[in-house]
Amino acid sequence: MLSFCFFVAFATMGQPHSKHRLYSVAFYNLENLFDTIHDEGKNDYDFLPDGSYKWNTKKYKAKLQNLAQVLSSLSRERVPQGPAFIGVAEVENDRVLDDLTKQPSIANYKYIHVEGPDKRGIDCALLYDPAQFEVKASRLVFSEPFQGDTLHPTRGFLIVDGQIADERICVIVNHWPSRGAESPVRIHAARQVKALADSLRRKDHRLKLVIMGDMNDDPMDESMCTLGARKWKKDVGKDEFYNPWWEVLEDEEEGTLLYRGKWNLFDQIVLSKPLLKKRRGLRYAGHEIFSRDYLFQKSGKFEGYPLRTHGGRTWLNGYSDHLPTIIYLKK
């Protein structure tokens, strides 16, 4: 029997009367957030009213409401104001982000999105709360295709630079090629992100850098090791990252998506070494897979799996085939 416990791991959080303030950042693959309108040049035909999913206004509005329910709940038990920013994957365009951030429960969020070259039209974006995260700059870096594979290009890498609690923090949002591609294609993506991170850190060696996304690989896979994401904080070098999700999947046997009855943990948030230091300032304070009972199927062949929007071509009126992940920071 699979366990759907509410998994939280926290570093030293301080006593109840501590002067530390807690923040959170999150990532969520929204699973095919398409509107009902065709975007020229994009293969979005399945998500049109006459497409294979019979995607219509009723289903689209339900999808927005369901996603808003999840996004508005992330980290609220510990951080009442919610995440400072949330990286998201599989959004079609600005229209869906406009409609999503108009949902009353998350109307405090703005978004950053740059249209990318994905053939289906799905991109990464960043939702952010201006009261907590001040955006200074943003850009989309287009990925270089892997030699010999033109079918599985990596979506662009969205880089957003800003401030939390008057400290600079930079985030790179990713969606690496699917498991339809061989491992070297994702390793190639990791090398590109590592190069971007190294370039940013050469200009500011104290940069607090967060890399998040749907990597389509698990924490111990070669692509994440190529990125320099380590299982234990003590092993993190100056140009490497801490990956708490390695321990979650390997030792706790918890994940963010199920495939053939086995958990994977593709939805990762990794942290640069300056976020691990114990001196004063913004630093790592814990992590969580956001797992709630309503996010899972209750019966049928896929009982216990995340409740997604469609099962085959049948509309399930669910949320996503992925669970969100959260990192906590304190100052």
What is the chain's mean pLDDT, rounded? 93
Q: Is 307:316 a contact under the CB 8 Å cutoff? A: yes
From 215, 216, 199, select the one nearest 207 (Cα to Cα). 199
Token pair for 10: 């926290």
Residue 14 in domain: no
Q: Which two tokens stand for residue 109?
A: 């969020």
pLDDT for the residue numbered 9: 52
Identify whether 7 is part of a domain: no
Residue 13 lies in a domain: no
Closest CA to 259 of 308, 190, 196, 205: 308
The number of C-alpha atoms within 13 Å of 268 and in the hemisphere containing its C-beta is 31
In a domain, 320, yes or no: yes
Weakest mean pLDDT among 2-11, 106-115, 167-176, 273-282: 2-11
Q: Choose the weakest-confidence range: 125-129, 152-156, 199-203, 314-318.
A: 152-156
Q: What is the mean pLDDT of residues 49-53?
A: 97
**CATH number for position 165:** 3.60.10.10
Q: Is residue 3 part of a domain?
A: no
Specify the pLDDT at position 250: 97
What pLDDT, in 10s, does the model give residues 202-257? Answer: 999 999 999 999 999 999 999 999 999 999 999 999 999 999 999 999 999 999 99
Report pLDDT digits (tens) over 128-140. Answer: 999 999 999 999 9
In this model, does residue 83 exceed pLDDT 90?
A: yes
Q: What pLDDT, in 10s, does the model give residues 272-293?
A: 999 998 877 999 999 999 999 9
Name the token pair of 214. Answer: 């749907």
pTM for this entry: 0.94
The fraction of the chain above a pLDDT of 90, given in percent, is 87
Q: How many domains does the chain have?
A: 1
Q: How many CB atoms lie within 10 A of CB 205?
A: 11
For residue 9, give the nearest of 255, 245, 231 by alpha carbon: 245
Does residue 72 belong to any structural domain of this protein?
yes
Asked if the structure places residue 12 within a domain, the reply is no
**Full domain range(s) for residue 116:** 21-330
